[in-house]
Amino acid sequence: MPSRTQSGSPYIQFAKLRSVAKYNLASSGVMSYPLAELPVRLEGLEINGTDAYGYSPLQERLARLNGVPLECVVAAAGTSMANHLAMAATVEPGDEVLVEHPTYETLVSALEYLGASVRYFERRPEDGFRVDPEEVERKITPRTRLIVITNLHNPSGALVEEETLRALGDIAKHANSLVLIDEVYLEALYEQRPRPSFHLGEQFLVTSSLTKAYGLSGLRCGWVLAAPALAQRMWHINDLYGVNAAHPAELLSVIALDNLDRVAARSRQLLDTNRRTLDAFLASRDDIEYHRPKFGTVIFPKLRRGSVDELYRLLEKHETSVAPGSYFYMPQHFRVGIGGDPEMTCAGLERLGLALDELRQKHQQTAPP
């Protein structure tokens, strides 16, 4: 099972430094939403705000968006800081945390940074990456403080149904632990988005942001939903990090939230188009195995022959990037993002197809007669 000793996040370093390509299928979010399309007036912006723990207009909108009381919302710098605050507020050094595998690597690196002892339960490709509550129940111990999953699942895009979430809540309750659900990709269900799992009971903590589904990453508009006492603990931990958010970003986030339907409509249309392109691509391949998620921005196929390292080298020639499965500790897989510009995504998938063809040829030549 994965175990890391290095500091920082290998995946984020890859995403920042090595995933950049003309045809970028490595990114897991929807392409940037242009500032010019939001009704922003310069006179409406200001450098400094006055609120101590959360900018009230933003707090109100986040509470409304999620259908929760104000005191249950902790604004954070993206889902990244939201996750960090949620984990730092609940986990002590030496506590055990049970995490899905594969998962978003940064969750594990942050937990290890906080001194947690990380154990895993499997989300198997052959089961459509479903969460198996029975396995979680077998693996939980009296030392387990937190169960952690992503929903939609990163890297596979699989949706975890409410019944499974409730089962996890029951298991956590019996073990006196909590369930942290990173729902940043659940936003990509738009008008079909279920209520945040925070509503399923007091064991649930939820994190999310406007980053992935809306193309608004630069606002760093993230949040945690937590019971009031825990939420307050997170605000106080945040005082050791960013203290306050950048106020212009808070003001822009309020405008974005007031226009979220419009932003969502553009994302939904883009993903519908790209999903059709992806389906045509998948139908043309017999050299990969995959679970085709119904929603979201990513898919996580498995190569039947050859290695993802070889594929990656071939892709570089075609100026195309994907996210290697090694960052998710499943090296035979690779993650393909479909949140980019439709023309770029189409061209990127064509190039991925060419690289897969070349890989197949190479392995046909080297196969024993």
Ligand X SMILES: Cc1ncc(COP(=O)(O)O)c(C=O)c1O
Sites for ligand X among residues 113-172 (CB under 6 A): 150, 154
CB of 170 to ligand X, least distance (A): 24
Whole-angstrom distance, CA of residue 203 vs CA of residue 181: 11
Whole-angstrom distance, CA of residue 133 vs CA of residue 307: 32
Of the candidate spans 196-204, 209-217, 228-236, 345-353, the one that interacts with ligand X by CB under 6 A turns out to be 209-217
In this complex, which beta carbon is closest to ligand X, that of residue 182 or of residue 250? 182
9 binds ligand X (CB under 6 A): no
If we measure between CA atoms, which residue out of 22, 12, 11 comes closest to residue 315?
A: 22
Instruction: Out of 164, 217, 232, 307, name the contact with ligand X by CB under 6 A.
Output: 217
Of the candidate spans 76-84, 109-117, 247-255, 313-321, the one that interacts with ligand X by CB under 6 A turns out to be 76-84
In this complex, which beta carbon is closest to ligand X, that of residue 217 or of residue 259? 217
If we measure between CA atoms, which residue out of 162, 160, 91 comes closest to residue 131?
A: 160
Of the candidate spans 46-54, 72-80, 241-249, 266-274, the one that interacts with ligand X by CB under 6 A turns out to be 72-80
Measured from each CB, the residue nearest to ligand X is: 78
28 binds ligand X (CB under 6 A): yes
CB of 99 to ligand X, least distance (A): 12
326 binds ligand X (CB under 6 A): no
DSSP string, 155-188: TT-PPPPHHHHHHHHHHHHHTT-EEEEE-TTGGG
267 binds ligand X (CB under 6 A): no
182 binds ligand X (CB under 6 A): yes
104 binds ligand X (CB under 6 A): yes
Say how many Å lie between the first and final Cα of the chain, rounded.
36
Of the candidate spans 74-82, 196-204, 255-263, 344-352, the one that interacts with ligand X by CB under 6 A turns out to be 74-82
Please count the other Cβ atoms lying within 10 Å of the Cβ belonging to residue 342: 17
Q: Which amino acid is at 19?
A: S
In this complex, which beta carbon is closest to ligand X, that of residue 220 or of residue 291? 220
If we measure between CA atoms, which residue out of 201, 187, 186 comes closest to residue 256?
A: 187
Whole-angstrom distance, CA of residue 262 vs CA of residue 238: 31
Instruction: Out of 169, 222, 337, 340, name the contact with ligand X by CB under 6 A.
Output: 222
Rg over CA atoms, the chain: 21
3-state secondary structure of 65: helix
3-state secondary structure of 362: helix
Interface residues toward ligand X, by CB under 6 A: 28, 78-80, 104, 150, 154, 182, 184, 209, 211, 217, 222
